[in-house]
Amino acid sequence: MGRLAAWLENRTPPVVATVAMLVGVLAFSLMGHAVLHSGQDGLLSPGDLWSLASSSSAVLHGDFANIYMRHGALTSPPAFEIALMPVMGLGELVGLSPHLRATGEPLSLWLVLGPAAVLLASTALFAVDAVARAWSFSEQRRLALALVGGLGVANVTAYWGHPEDCMAVAFVLWAALSMERRGSAGASRAALLLGIGIALQPLALLAVAPILARLTWRRAGRLVGWLAVPSLVVLAAPLIAETHRTLFVLVRQPFPPAYVSLTPLTSLASHLSPGVDGGGPTRLVAILLASALAIVVCHRRHDLPTVLTMVAVAFFLRVLLETELNWYYLWPVPALCLLLALRRSPFRFALCSLALVASAVLGNHRVHDIALWWPALMATVVVMLLCAAPPPRRWAELAAGRRTAGAATRPLEFTTMGNAVAAGGRRE
């Protein structure tokens, strides 16, 4: 134990949090069933991750027509499944992968798949830490940020089985940081990073407008290729092999209402077949609304705190307008809000952390009677946003495009990153 403690002391905060996640996730999956079900043996692992692993196995074997399998968890471009191919290949090499379809959830394959999923999802922690270092957070604050953020990442990965959402948020943060550091000169790189995020999980589309809003329309139009190429590359094979099924899944976003939580907008979901609805239309509305709002704000104020605040708002609008809901849809909001809240004050960070835990407790259930559940869950997300947001008086100044009064002597929320670092301390 002494050697382990000494090793952890010399690691960066995201590494410490990742190690803690690996230990916690494996312990939960191997012993959680016995604890939660009165001593019964069995592997406790997320079904969606096994479904994504099956899609990855299809890619590995060139079976592109079955990447988007019926009732599968994959409804986005298969970039994550391609990233998972080496893991599935390793499992097959040592004789594990052939058991995937025979038994569903073999323990031996999980010992490879589980840690791999955690490591891929941990990219979000490293991206958040990159922003924290740019803002000159202390080592203690970065560790707190990584550990609390790790709770959300572990829940998304080990309980819900969607590490690709974490990876998409990581690429969004790296894109925003690239624009902050290099300005318009970093636009192509930022667009490519966003394109990779979109190929992993289309929620990254919500970040395109806030990050690129500083550019002229003509300059932004030239970046469409960088945004689209990663998705086109990973979609080429399934589109050729099974065009109808691939387009149906990507455009209509099918989901079974019986296996998800409902929302006040569930009745607006398009009915695709018995027991299957589509979640695409309201997600398009969320993208358009969030993009319009971000363009108005971020074209004038495009410092990193403002951009990340607007990305968090965009993620919230997506959740607010969902026709079906699982907790991991919410996770991108606290991922950014924890970072922004800690920048303002430790108290806000603590309150945001409590709201994150409360949202997970509420959201880790499938609920159809939403009368009390949905408002309570949305309230936790609103609390996170309020913890991250500047005081209300700042928003009028932001909308008017005016600089904060007295910024030369006391730089606050929407100053540039350099001024924010110079200010130090609380930013309220």
The string of pLDDT tens digits covering residues 199-248 is: 999 999 999 999 999 988 888 889 999 999 999 999 999 999 999 989 98
Assign residue 309 a region: left if phi > 0, alpha if psi is -120 to 50, beta otherwise? alpha
pLDDT 10s digits, 285-324: 899 999 999 999 888 888 999 999 999 999 999 999 998 8
The pLDDT, as a whole number, for residue 12 is 86
Q: Does residue 421 register a pLDDT over 50?
A: no
pLDDT grade, residue 409 (50/70/90)?
A: very low
Residue among 193, 202, 173 nearest 335 (CA):
173
pLDDT at 74 over 70: yes
pLDDT of residue 31: 79
Q: Does residue 426 have a pLDDT over 80?
A: no
pLDDT digits (tens, 9 = 90+) for 130-176: 999 999 999 999 999 999 999 999 999 999 999 999 999 999 999 99
Confidence of residue 416 (pLDDT cuts 50, 70, 90): very low
d(CA 30, CA 21) in angstroms, rounded, equals 14
> What separation in angstroms does the CA of 285 have from each of 33, 188, 189, 202, 279?
40, 26, 27, 14, 11
pLDDT digit string, tens, across residues 348-359: 999 999 999 999
pLDDT cut 90: percent of the chain above it: 53
- pTM of the predicted model as reported, rounded to 2 decimal places: 0.87
Q: What is the mean pLDDT of residues 397-426?
A: 43
Report pLDDT for 413: 42
Q: How far is CA 18 from CA 106, 149, 417, in A?
A: 24, 10, 28
What average pLDDT does range 408-415 have in this prediction? Answer: 38
The C-alpha atoms of residue 135 and residue 137 are separated, in whole angstroms, by 6
Distance CA 324, CA 257 (A): 7
Q: Tokens at residue 125, please?
A: 């922690």
Whether the per-residue pLDDT at 122 is higher than 70: the answer is yes
Q: Say if residue 2 is exposed, middle or buried (CB neighbours under 10 Å; 0-12, 13-18, 19+).
A: exposed
| Residue 162 CA from chain centroid, whole number | 9
Mean pLDDT (whole number) for 259-267: 87
Question: Residue 102: which pLDDT band, with cuts at 50, 70 and 90?
Answer: very low
Please give the distance of CA 260 from its chain centroid, rounded to a whole number: 19
The average confidence (pLDDT) of the chain is 84
Question: From the CB of residue 361, how many other CB atoms can be counted at a distance below 10 Å?
Answer: 12
User: For residue 278, what is the enclosing H or E element?
Assistant: strand 276-278
Structure tokens at 331: 């996770």
- Helix or strand holding residue 24 (H, E): helix 13-36
**Which has the higher per-residue pLDDT, 77 or 1?**
77
Contact 336, 132 (CB under 8 A): no
pLDDT exceeds 70 at position 332:
yes
CA distances from 203 to 225, 245, 286 (A): 18, 21, 10
- Up-side HSE of residue 278: CA atoms within 13 Å toward CB? 14
> What residues does each domain of the chain span?
2-389
Residue 57, both tokens: 């196995």
User: Residue length, the chain?
Assistant: 428
